[in-house]
């Protein structure tokens, strides 16, 4: 194991840039994972680890990283470069995966899918991924992405479920084509021309589509959906946080499938 003692070391400088800049992540085709649970989930998902930085004063586990450069860094360096407030003593540099629609594989004839159109806030994306993992969704699809999927804030807010979900990225038109080709019904969460989400049977192949809190879903989704659905509001506002809305819809489908 190699030891690094200086913040001026080029590898440490690169780590900082990978944390801060999407451009650097794209240019180097790598991203940062921080934390024991997140690292283990990525390993279980067969991500390729290029480098691992361990602070032995903090990290108390023995993990084998074959074919990976492993560096021991001082606690002073770790505290400077750690992204999260809590310290766990491990940071990894990892290669991203390709997230293409044609790579999605469904084990069941009635997959349950969450589609999020143009989500902007990393915290919302992370929360959507946690919901999808909790419900054991078959896939999460990001339409018209505006945020780097491997943004450290997404990894952190998803508590590592970025690595447990099957994820694809694409443009709205190609996603609609993919869903239609695979005979997956589209239920668009929108205020316009909608029925209550409780009035629909979700036992067949189902994709719930949610939009941004500010703009909602694009007209294309509303026009091409099997049915627009709405969660009736009981108070004075007409919408909820997108991840909360997605959770309500998805777990209604889970409920229906469990009692069938």
Nearby residues of 77 by Cβ (< 8 Å), 6 or more positions away: 4, 5, 6, 7, 12, 55
pLDDT at 86: 66
pLDDT at 213: 78
- Count the Cβ atoms, other than its own, within 10 Å of residue 131: 24
Q: Name the nearest CA neighbour of 249 among 192, 193, 190, 176.
A: 190
Q: Are residues 54 and 90 in contact, defined by beta-carbon separation less than 8 angstroms?
A: yes
Q: Mind listing the pLDDT tens digit for each residue in 132-154?
A: 999 999 999 999 999 999 999 99
Residue with tokens 């790598």, as numbered in its chain: 30
pLDDT at 1: 77
- Count the Cβ atoms, other than its own, within 10 Å of residue 184: 21
pLDDT at 245: 96
pLDDT at 214: 77
Per the DSSP assignment, residues forming a β-bridge with 54 are 72, 90
DSSP state of 101: G
What is the dihedral angle through the alpha carbons of 219, 221, 223, 226, rounded to the nearest 10 degrees? -160
Q: Which two tokens stand for residue 85?
A: 């407030």
End-to-end, the C-alpha distance of the chain in Å comes to 55
Helix ranges (DSSP H) in 21-138:
22-28, 36-44, 75-81, 122-134
pLDDT at 10: 96
Nearby residues of 209 by Cβ (< 8 Å), 6 or more positions away: 115, 116, 117, 143, 186, 187, 188, 189, 217, 221, 225
Average pLDDT in the chain: 94
Q: Which two tokens stand for residue 51?
A: 């480098």
The proportion of the chain whose per-residue pLDDT surpasses 90, expressed as a percent, equals 82
Q: Mind listing the pLDDT tens digit for each residue in 166-212?
A: 999 999 999 999 999 999 999 999 988 899 999 999 999 999 999 98
Residue with tokens 């694809």, as numbered in its chain: 168
pLDDT at 41: 97
Average pLDDT rounded to a whole number, residues 10-32: 96
The proportion of the chain whose per-residue pLDDT surpasses 70, expressed as a percent, equals 98
Whole-model pTM: value is 0.94
pLDDT at 85: 60
Q: Is the pLDDT of residue 50 over 90?
A: yes
Q: Which two tokens stand for residue 236?
A: 């004075």
Q: Give the up-direction half-sphere exposure of residue 65: CA atoms within 13 A in the CB hemisphere.
A: 24
pLDDT at 87: 67
Average pLDDT rounded to a whole number, residues 36-48: 95
More confident residue, 2 or 115: 115
Q: Is the pLDDT of residue 64 over 90?
A: no
Q: Mind listing the pLDDT tens digit for each residue in 65-89?
A: 888 999 999 999 998 888 876 668 9
Q: Is the pLDDT of residue 53 over 70?
A: yes
């Amino acid at each position: 194991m190699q030891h690094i003692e200086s913040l001026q070391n080029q590898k440490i400088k690169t780590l900082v840039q990978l944390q801060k800049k999407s451009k650097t992540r794209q240019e180097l085709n790598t991203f940062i994972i921080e934390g024991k649970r997140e690292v283990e989930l990525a390993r279980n998902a067969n991500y390729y680890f290029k480098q691992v930085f361990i602070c032995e004063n903090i990290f108390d586990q023995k993990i084998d990283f074959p074919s990976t450069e492993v560096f021991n860094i001082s606690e002073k360096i770790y505290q400077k470069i750690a992204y999260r407030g809590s310290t766990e003593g491990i940071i990894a540099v990892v290669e991203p995966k390709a997230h293409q629609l044609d790579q999605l594989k469904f084990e069941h004839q009635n997959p349950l899918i969450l589609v999020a159109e143009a989500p902007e806030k990393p915290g919302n994306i992370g929360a959507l991924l946690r919901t999808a993992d909790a419900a054991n969704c078959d896939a999460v699809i990001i339409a018209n992405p505006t945020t780097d999927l491997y943004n450290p804030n997404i990894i952190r807010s998803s508590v590592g479920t970025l690595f447990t979900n099957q994820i694809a990225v694409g443009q709205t038109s190609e996603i609609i084509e993919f869903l239609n080709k695979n005979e997956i019904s589209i239920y668009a969460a929108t205020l316009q021309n909608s029925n209550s989400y409780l009035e629909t049977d979700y036992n067949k192949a189902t994709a719930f589509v949610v939009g941004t809190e500010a703009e909602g879903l694009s007209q294309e989704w509303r026009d091409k959906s099997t049915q627009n659905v709405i969660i009736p509001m009981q108070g004075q506002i007409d919408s909820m946080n997108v991840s909360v809305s997605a959770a309500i819809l998805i777990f209604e489908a889970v409920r229906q499938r469990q009692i069938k």
